Structures are given as C-alpha cells and as structure tokens.
Amino acid sequence: MTTATPDAEIITPVDQAGVAAAIRASHDARQPIFSVGGRTSFDDVSVAPRASRLLDLTEMSQVVDYTPRDMTIVVEAGVCMADLAATLAAERQQLPIDEPCVAKATIGGVAATNWTGPRRLGCGTMRDYVIGIHAVDGRGVAFKGGGRVVKNVAGYDFCKLLTGSLGTLGVITRLALRVKPLPECFATVVADCPELAVAETILERLVRLDATPATVDLLVGSTWHETAGGSPDARPHPSALLAVRAEGTEAEVQWMAERVQYEFWQGGAAGAQRLSDSDADRLWSQQVEFADRGATSTHDQAALVIKVAVPPSAVTATIADLRLHDSTCTIQAHAASGIIVARLANFAGEDISRVLVGKLRPMAVHHGGSLVVLASQLEGLTPLIVWGGRTDATVLMERIKHQFDPHGILNPGRFVY
Ligand SMILES: Cc1cc2nc3c(=O)[nH]c(=O)nc-3n(C[C@H](O)[C@H](O)[C@H](O)COP(=O)(O)OP(=O)(O)OC[C@H]3O[C@@H](n4cnc5c(N)ncnc54)[C@H](O)[C@@H]3O)c2cc1C
C-alpha cells in the first residue's frame, strides 16, 4: 500500500500555479509526486513506492461559480464532498454520487477514482457529471477541457479521460459539474429472498419495470438482515436481501414502491416491506459506506475488499461462486449494473496467489467480467494483482500516460503502467 514516508514532504498549494510549480520541480528532479485529497482511498492497495512527496489539494477548496438556475457548479478540486452537498442542498440540488467518507473525501479524489455509489443505476457515474476540467500534466503544464455548460466538448474529451485516471495523467485543480434537483422524497422496499434463485427471478422482473429505480442492491451476508430491521440470518445457505430505493415526487415513489412490492411477491420473496424512514436511512448509510475498507458500524474490518464487474445477468451466479470460496464473505451487488463488492474477512497473504489470482479472478472472467482489489492491508500486492493482467489496451494507455507524464512522476505504481 502507498504510505507517506515519515519525513514525506507535503506540499499544499493554494492555486493552480502552485500545483504547476510543484509538479515542474518534480519533473525536473525526476522525483515521484503523489496527489492527495481526503486520503480515504489513497493508501488502499496500490503498490507504489513509499510516497516521499505529497501534493495535498485540500487547501484549494473554493466554490468558483454556482448559478443554480443553470444546474451547474464550478469548484476547486479540494472541496470536500460534505461541503459540496451542503452548498447544493441549500438550493435543493445535488450531485448524486454517494461517497463512503463524505466528511473527508474531496471532489478531485472522487473524480480521479470515478467513484460511484449505490445510485449508479438511477443516477449514473461521476463521468456523467464532469462537464469541465482544469488540470496540470506531469511536466507542470496546465490544460483544460470542456466548460461550464453541458455539451461543450470539442476534440478529445479530457473530462472523461481524466475521470477515473487515479491522478496518473494529471492533477485536477478545478471541475465544472452538472447537478440534479434533490428528490422530493424516497422510499426503500426490501425483499427477503430465501435462495439466490429467487433473487434472480425477481431481478428479471424488475428489469421490465416501466421506470428505473435509483438503486437495486442485492445484499448477502447475515449483517444485512439486521441492518434492514430483520433478525440475524442464521440460515446455512446464502439467502439474500433485495433493497430497491425509489426517488422522486411523492406520487412517483408511491407508484414505484407498490410496483416493486408486487414484483417481489410475484417473484417468490419470503417477505417484502416498505421500510420506515429510520430503517431506510440506517440501511442506506450502510449501503453507501460498505466499500470503506475500515470497519463500518455493522461490518468488521475486511482483510480484502474486491470489486467484480459482470453482466447483470451473471450477478447471482457470481455471488454463488464467491460464497463457495468464502461462505462468510459479505456482499453488496448493484445488481442491475453488474457491480459486486465483496468484503472477505478470512483472507491471508498466502491466499493472494492461490485464491485471488488462482480462483477468484478466473471466476470473474468465466462470468464474462473482471475483478479489481479495492482495498487490502496485505503485503505483496502488485499492480497486476490489484488491477488484473496487461491487455492490448494497457500498451495504448502507457503511450497516453507517456504523453501526459513523460518522466512517470505522477502517482507511480497507482495503476497497471
Ligand atoms: C480502489 C479504491 C478504494 C477505495 N476505498 C475506499 C475506502 O476504503 N473508504 C472510502 O471511504 N472510500 C474508498 N474509496 C472511494 C474513495 O474514497 C473515493 O473514490 C475518493 O478517492 C475519495 O476522495 P479523496 O479526496 O479521499 O481521495 P484520496 O484518497 O486522497 O485519493 C484517491 C486517488 O485520487 C487521486 N487524487 C486525489 N485528488 C486528486 C486530484 N485533485 N487530481 C488528481 N488525482 C487526485 C489520488 O492520487 C489517489 O490516487 C475507494 C475508491 C477506490 C477507487
């Protein structure tokens, strides 16, 4: 994992010129420099050498321009997600990206990781909201893409290229974001599925709904039942909890809640109910913070947190295989998006090659998908183990990386290069 050396030099610029100067100095000295925001995922898994030079963006935390009427906002990269949410909520607006540690995470870090939470289905990913970007490349040269208005991208779309690039192509200094209205209300309806096969039947029915819910999560593991106001699930086989969140006007939410409960019963659910607002809030905060590697209010610290991406139709089969490898692992699947996050408690260093590389990744590929390591405290992880093997695309990405960062000083080891 990337950790700062005890004597790491921490540079905290207050503007883009300061960022450029710091990177230029690293470029000329061929010295690695690591961009950080709230550090909620910085030291997760990457195998970079110990960071001796950190570029901390948290001092750049201004709202540059906000005209609620235009449904866009321009912010500096160090703005923390909680402050951004508060600024938008005051105008009944939101950036519907759910981040585990909102009080610490910065918008620059969320963009750099293209983090998406449980509302990926109904609200999309961070890439859908970044409409303008200012950044500094690995030579210390500032560049920008997109703009303040939606659909203002000519030529290569730097917004999409930098979103998800983990700070390896450039350091983001400013973002123009599209925002959405806050929903009038929301509801969460849950179904108790005695078997994964029942969950599969219900998921097939939910795909045919006339409207798209915000979230369709398939939750496996005893702790989830407790969170949803149920009793701990002591059944031997992996039963599952389906949680569907509807957001919108009162009428829309009422319609969706009734329709989903009907589909639950038709699909063979053992129990279905609309949660009380307090139970819904409790479950929601668990759904949002599930990927946080640390211990959460209901989940113990995980030895390994993985993210598997498969076609939605392969979600329940993949979960069944995951539970075969570790019947105690806890799982959250954004089922209609094919994203599965699993926390494995019983995972040791010697399991890295035997289980992770030898079994879990081939299993994901078998189901038509891929697997990345989100977080682990285990030593011995390499970029190839974390992100998966090199592909033809990796060679192309390395060429692009070289154009943006010829000396490879931006976050070395943070990705497959
Ligand atoms: C692999 C992975 C594991 C995660 N694990 C957790 C977790 O355990 N707990 C949790 O709460 N959230 C986790 N997340 C979500 C994560 O918190 C957010 O995606 C986001 O990183 C939070 O922003 P931050 O400011 O804390 O970023 P940091 O953790 O400081 O940085 C995250 C990454 O973004 C880069 N970066 C940060 N700021 C910039 C910038 N301005 N320009 C360019 N690059 C930048 C960093 O170099 C680093 O690679 C994880 C995300 C990923 C991708």
pLDDT tens for each residue of the chain, 417 residues long: 455 667 789 999 999 999 999 999 999 999 999 999 999 887 655 454 567 899 999 999 999 999 999 999 999 999 999 999 999 999 999 999 999 899 999 999 999 999 989 999 999 999 999 999 999 999 999 999 998 765 555 678 999 999 999 999 999 999 999 999 999 999 999 999 999 999 999 999 999 999 999 999 999 987 786 666 555 555 555 579 999 999 999 999 999 999 999 999 999 998 899 999 999 999 999 999 998 867 666 666 788 999 999 999 999 999 999 999 998 899 999 999 999 999 998 888 888 889 999 999 999 999 999 999 988 878 788 888 888 877 888 889 999 999 999 999 999 988 766
CA 189 – ligand 1 centroid, Å: 31
Please name the CATH architecture into which domain 304-381 falls.
2-Layer Sandwich (3.30)
List pocket residues of ligand 1, CB cut-off 6 Å. 34-42, 44, 57, 77, 99-101, 104-106, 108-110, 112-113, 115, 166-167, 171-172, 291-293, 374-375, 411, 414
Q: How far apart are CA 15 and CA 374, in angstroms?
A: 31
Atom of ligand 1 nearest to the CA of 43: 29
Atom of ligand 1 nearest to the CA of 373: 1
- The pLDDT value recorded for residue 383 is 84
Q: How far is CA 218 from the centre of its chain?
A: 17
CA 231 – ligand 1 centroid, Å: 34
Query: Comparing C-alpha atoms, which of 331, 339, 283 is closest to residue 304?
Result: 331
CA 268 – ligand 1 centroid, Å: 40
Please name the residues in contact with 112: beta carbons below 8 A apart, sequence gap of 6 or more. Answer: 35, 37, 162, 163, 164, 165, 166, 167, 172
Residue nearest to ligand 1 atom 28, measured at CA: 39
Say which amino acid occupies 22: A
CA 115 – ligand 1 centroid, Å: 8
Atom of ligand 1 nearest to the CA of 41: 29
Residue nearest to ligand 1 atom 38, measured at CA: 109
CA 110 – ligand 1 centroid, Å: 6
Domains 185-289 and 304-381 share a fold: yes
Q: How far apart are CA 318 and CA 338, in angstroms?
A: 10
Residue nearest to ligand 1 atom 14, measured at CA: 41
CA 94 – ligand 1 centroid, Å: 20
Residue nearest to ligand 1 atom 34, measured at CA: 109
- Domain boundaries defined on the chain: 1-182+388-417, 185-289, 304-381
- In the beta sheet, which residues pair with residue 33? 410
- The pLDDT value recorded for residue 268 is 95
> b/e per residue, 274-313, with b = 16+ CB within 10 A?
bbeeebbebbbbbbbbbbbbeebebbeebbbbbbbbbebe
Strand order in the sheet with 130-136: 63-67, 72-76, 171-178, 130-136, 142-146
CA 38 – ligand 1 centroid, Å: 7
CA 36 – ligand 1 centroid, Å: 8
- The pLDDT value recorded for residue 106 is 97
Instruction: To the nearest 10°, report the CA torsion of 221, 122, 114, 340.
Output: 20
- The pLDDT value recorded for residue 222 is 78
The preferred substitution site among 3, 16, 19, 41 for testing ligand 1, maximizing ligand atoms within 8 Å of CB, is: 41
- The pLDDT value recorded for residue 322 is 95
- The pLDDT value recorded for residue 154 is 67
Please name the CATH architecture into which domain 1-182+388-417 falls.
2-Layer Sandwich (3.30)
CA 109 – ligand 1 centroid, Å: 5
CA 46 – ligand 1 centroid, Å: 11
- The pLDDT value recorded for residue 1 is 45
- The pLDDT value recorded for residue 382 is 86
Given a contact cutoff of 8 angstroms between Cβ atoms, the answer to whether 42 and 106 are in contact is no
Instruction: To the nearest 10°, report the CA torsion of 32, 34, 35, 38.
Output: -170
Residue nearest to ligand 1 atom 50, measured at CA: 41
The preferred substitution site among 40, 58, 341 for testing ligand 1, maximizing ligand atoms within 8 Å of CB, is: 40
Residue nearest to ligand 1 atom 49, measured at CA: 166
Please name the residues in contact with 308: beta carbons below 8 A apart, sequence gap of 6 or more. Answer: 318, 322, 339, 340, 341, 342, 360, 364, 369, 370, 371
Residue nearest to ligand 1 atom 7, measured at CA: 292
Residue nearest to ligand 1 atom 51, measured at CA: 41
CATH of region 185-289: 3.30.70.3450
